[in-house]
Amino acid sequence: VGVMKGVIVGIAPNVQIIDISHDVAPQNIASGAWMLASAYRYFPEQTVFVCVVDPGVGSSRSAIAIQAGNRFFVGPDNGLFSYVLAEQTVYAACVLSRSAFHLPQISSTFHGRDIFAPVGAYLARGVGISEVGMPVEPAALQRIDVGQLVRSDRGIDGRIVHIDRFGNLITSIPIALVPMLFSEMPVRMTFPTLNVDVSECRRFFAEGSDREPFIYGDSSGYVGVAVRNGNAAKALNAGFGTPVTLVIGSK
């Protein structure tokens, strides 16, 4: 990763370079997409995000740049930008076809260094997104399932989209959709495939006992399930993709 920064400062010497995370499980696109989703809004406008979770490097997947909202995203066209594409207005997208903005020699295994980093640096220097490649329809870009919600009789159906390093389970259900989460109204999270129900709600981790799993509002902006001083993923035997239903009221 340091090498990518070397490439960037060689092109754009005065740029601020910030690491979002290196904790993405190797080659896990869904996890990388989620981490980007939970972070990008906190960065200033005009930020260029150079993203490398790229198991398909060397295959036929395209390298792309996207202007979404007032920020730029550079990386592989493999679904990594699915949340961004779903949440932001896409002003432009292009395939990185202009080799003048790449390193002179392109390896087959490290496009982060050879293509994404230099293109990102040129964008940060003010080069227009239309200059770095050929336009592509945003609708044609790859997307992964970002856990779209379904409201049913039983409640809101979603799934686990992320497990953080403490083992907390983050669902695809935004806190903003459930204003009654910390009201008097009973709420419970069911895991239909696991035959488990979590009915305790806590505003703060510091509350209550250590053993009991509970529903909480994750700092990412989504509803989560945690065990204080424990690992909810292990305790409930839940994983990435596990379906959940948030049931509101005493049904």
* Residue closer to a second copy (CB basis): 47 or 142: 47
Sole binder of a second copy in the list 74, 100, 169, 203 (CB under 8 A): 203
Sole binder of a second copy in the list 34, 72, 81, 110 (CB under 8 A): 110
Percent helix, strand and coil across the chain, each rounded to 5? 25, 25, 45
Instruction: Tell the residue number behind the tokens 């696991």, with chain if given.
Output: 194
Can you tell me the distance from the alpha carbon of 104 to that of 127, in angstroms, rounded to the nearest whole number?
Answer: 18
**Both tokens of residue 35?**
């981490």
Instruction: Print burial letters for 206-221: b (CB count within 10 Å at least 16), e (below 16).
Output: eeeeeeebbbbbbebe
59 touching a second copy, by CB under 8 A: yes
* Residue closer to a second copy (CB basis): 13 or 150: 13
Sole binder of a second copy in the list 104, 153, 204, 250 (CB under 8 A): 204
Using CB under 8 A, which of the segments 34-42, 62-70, 136-144, 189-197 binds a second copy?
A: 34-42
Could you tell me which residues come within 8 angstroms of residue 190 by beta carbon, excluding any fewer than 6 positions away?
154, 155, 196, 197, 198, 244, 245, 247
- Contact residues toward a second copy (CB under 8 A) are 1-3, 5-7, 9-10, 13, 16-21, 26, 38-39, 42-44, 47, 55-59, 107-110, 113-114, 166, 203-207, 216-219, 221
